[in-house]
Structure 1
């Protein structure tokens, strides 16, 4: 083994080491955490949804009131049920006279 042969081997090793070092490997550097961007809520869509909910509530309340008024009108037309209600009001033994009078007036108004 002569010295020139050893120099040639060293040169080949050096070039092969450079080629291996140039290959990409996992990085040891720690990068900052990535922040996820959240899209902003659509304000107009939310307002529309809330408006629709309010409209639905108002409509349901109006329908309930209409049904109740209709039932009260039907009850007022039935003479038999009026007599029964008045009889029950008069028969109630635990009620005081002022409560009975209020109940009669309230029932007459409805």
Structure 2
């Protein structure tokens, strides 16, 4: 462990010592195929992108677990079948909850205007 830490520190120190240092303003700009950059690179993304990525990871892991269960389905028997059904039911309940709370809605909510009870 100490050897790895020493090696990592040595590589970082050598990189810092031997690395090039430019005071030019243009060296800090990104190169975009010869096109001059406009605006800032600091863009604000909606949190919905993060949520969709998290949902994808969660349900992708579900697929991995189901595929590994399918490989060993004969060895696991009925107990394995019941376990995978419970696992799938929990994840489907989570999906239903996300759908019901509107976490999967991408655009603004489209509610009908109330007619005042007429």
TM-score normalized with structure 2 length: 0.27
Report which of the two structures shows the higher radius of gyration computed on alpha carbons: 1
